[in-house]
Amino acid sequence: MSNPISSYLGVHATALPLREQRMQLIASNLSNADTPHYKALDLNFDAALRNAAAAAENNPAALRTSDSRHLDDLSLAPQLYQRPGSQPSLDGNTVDADAERAAYGRAALEYRASLSFIESKVRTMLTAITGQ
């Protein structure tokens, strides 16, 4: 990463928007739990993070966006996959609400951990700048 701020924040600067997108996918799964023939989607986070980090290495401007809705520019489609249902449903829906709630809780915890790390790094930077 040639951007000094991104390199200072480490992998968490790249991971935070990916974690957010994963939480949005899980929330979408939960909201479609009763939709016939809906297939639960998930994000292969490791592959998406590797691709985003490689894109940042090859083209540092690739991850810069002016709006949070621009995450589609990261071309995450190859990292999306249909999560198989744990219990067969007569209407073809593969969403397991209990598993989705557990996945959302874990994703929220991981998001908060990345956010806390970034906050700590920014706080350290502000302390260095202000000297307080």
The pair of three-digit structure tokens given for residue 76, joined into one six-digit string: 């995450």
Torsion of CA 34, 35, 36, 39, to 10 degrees: -100
| Residue of higher predicted confidence among 73 and 57 | 57
pTM confidence score: 0.74
Going 9 to 11 to 16 to 17, the CA torsion angle's sign is positive
Residues 79/47, Cβ–Cβ less than 8 Å: yes
CB 68 within 8 A of CB 24: no
Report the half-sphere exposure of 95 (CA within 13 A, side-chain side).
23
| 67-79 per-position pLDDT tens digit | 665 554 445 556 8
- Per-residue pLDDT reduced to its tens digit, 79-130: 888 888 788 788 989 999 999 999 999 999 999 999 999 999 999 989 999 8
Residue 41: enclosing H or E segment and its boundaries? strand 41-43
